[in-house]
Chain A
Amino acid sequence: MGAEESVLTPSTGWIVLTIFGCAWIGLGYYWGRKAKNLEGFMLAGRDVGLALGAATAMATWVTSNTIMLAPLFALQMGVWGVLAYSTASFGLFFFAPMARRIRRLMPKGLTSGDFIRLRYGRAAWGVFLAISLVYSMAWLVSMAMAGGIVLMALAGIPYVYGMSVILLVCVIYTLFGGLYAVIGTDFIQSAIILLGVLVVGVMVVLQVDIATVHEDIVTFQPALLDVLMPVALLALFNNMFFGFGEVFHNNVWWSRAFAMREGIGLKAFSLAGFLWLPIPVAAGFIALAAGSLGINIVDPDMAGPLVAGEILGSAGAVIVFIVVFCSLGSSIDSLLASTSDLLAEDVFKRLINPTISDAQLRRVASLLIVGLGVVTWLICLPRLGRLNEVLFISGPLVGSAIWVVVFGLFYRRVNRHAALAAMIGGSTLGILAYYTIGWFTASLVGAGVSLVIIVAGTLLKPGEFDWETLDEHSSNQASESA
């Protein structure tokens, strides 16, 4: 799609990109001055309050897919499609009690890798790191690619320029401010996303009667309202378990659990779930209303901006452009920060240089942010469509880690062999299901198989884990003073 077919002119797109890009970098630099040590840089001083905590969890989970793909789900699978998409919010709801537990068990923890290493030993830690890094890179690459594609579709900005600018802006402000910059910008981005979706949704409701939209769908596409649509119901459960796997294992969420002040995690993640839940439904409705508004949707990916452009003029398209830019920025910055933390702490410190000082580790984390940005840029450059598939294939991988994390946090009897076998068995059979049955079963199979293995392994040989082992920092201090 070229500039002549896009909703906005390239010059408008560049103006918006420049304004918001400079704002994020400026704010990142401003907040980054608070990051005086490693904990400040990696975990925002472990002192994040409820407003910023909830906003960062919500904004990170709103990706460009939420805005652009939810309409596609609506147009392909109807009501169940958007409900299936919104079940991804359950990941945030269920992570809420886990965040509280994580903060209590590991008051000085740094990464999700720390937990797996201390809870299950090095073999399971290795497999977990592989799963986590594959997923994080796939998410990062898919977001950067989506950025280039969406900016081209919306404003005719060439793919390479759009993708490069988004990555560059996120790398710069994450580098300046670490998690302070990420969480601070996430708050503004979450407010913009909510307001943008609300404005476009309300304008659509004011322009067209919902009963008419329903009537039109009954007449022309009744399957979209089918209460019993088998594929959509399977997609619902698959999406839910994919969401559980993504949230429960990934350091993006663990770093926020560590960063929030004591007593905040449970409330912040619960609220984030409520903030996220309605967005796919609202975005999906905007697409379903297109027919009643007389808008011909040729490319379902572009339903949101087309409808917004039709009812609000170019202002509507600018709103969608800004919302998409915020959704991309809030996810890419979080991935850069938390994945570089995981590589610095779990790979560099634990495997390469265990005696590294905190100041040196902070420099390593900074270099890794730049390195991740460069690697992502190089992978995205040729715009290989099949790269997106890697993210979907990672569904069964992260699905296989769900019970390993949940049981590991709450049940002392789960043993390390069961956890290792659950991740390997769940991943293998889940990928097999992806290719032999279909994408909509892969995460379900990954999660189901790993559940059976971990329960069986625990019943066969119950362990007896000492929770205090997880507070590694305090244990080290105690042993040093003794």
Chain B
Amino acid sequence: MILFSSEVFSILIYGSLILTGLGFLTLLLLLWRDARSRSIW
């Protein structure tokens, strides 16, 4: 049986958490940008 290595496993976990954090920040930044240009709606 070929198994996923510890490195691949770590990349998946850390990658998913980093992406989630970046996603959260991106949403806030975009809202701030849209609010400044009065283009939220």
Contact = CB atoms under 8 A, between A and B. Distances in A.
Nearest to B6: A214
Interface size range on A against B: 35 or more
A68 to B, nearest CB: 17
A270 B37 CA distance: 22
B41 A44 contact: yes
A54 B3 contact: no
A231 interface: no
Interface string A107-128: 0000000000000000000000
A318 B33 CA distance: 31
B3 A278 contact: no
A180 B23 contact: no
Interface string B18-41: 011101101110110110000111
A194 B27 contact: yes
Interface in A35-52: 44-45, 47-52
A285 B15 CA distance: 12
Interface string A376-411: 000000000000000000000000000000000000
A interface majority secondary structure: helix
B23 A225 contact: no
B19 A51 contact: no
A195 B9 contact: no
B41 A50 contact: no
Given A51-B34, A274-B23, A278-B19, A210 B2 contact: no
B34 to A, nearest CB: 4
Given A48-B41, A211-B6, A225-B3, A194 B31 contact: no
B3 A51 contact: no
A317 interface: no
Interface in A180-231: 180, 187, 190-191, 194-195, 197-198, 201-202, 205, 210-211, 213-215, 218, 222-223, 225-228
A271 interface: yes
A381 to B, nearest CB: 36
A194 B24 contact: yes
Nearest to B41: A47
A198 B33 contact: no
Nearest to B12: A281
A261 interface: yes
A240 interface: no
Which of B16, B17, B31 has the most A CB atoms < 10 Å from its CB? B16
A34 interface: yes
Nearest to B2: A227
B3 A222 contact: yes
B10 A211 contact: yes
A89 to B, nearest CB: 11
Contact of A198 (B15, B20, B28): B20
B31 A51 contact: yes
Which of B2, B17, B20, B31 has the most A CB atoms < 10 Å from its CB? B20
Nearest to A218: B3
Given A191-B27, A281-B13, A51 B20 contact: no
Contacts of B2: 226-228
B20 A282 contact: yes
Interface of A: 34, 44-45, 47-52, 54-55, 58, 79, 82, 180, 187, 190-191, 194-195, 197-198, 201-202, 205, 210-211, 213-215, 218, 222-223, 225-228, 261, 271, 274-275, 277-279, 281-282, 285
Given A227-B2, A227-B4, A281-B15, 6 more contacts: A51-B33, A210-B13, A213-B9, A278-B16, A278-B19, A285-B13
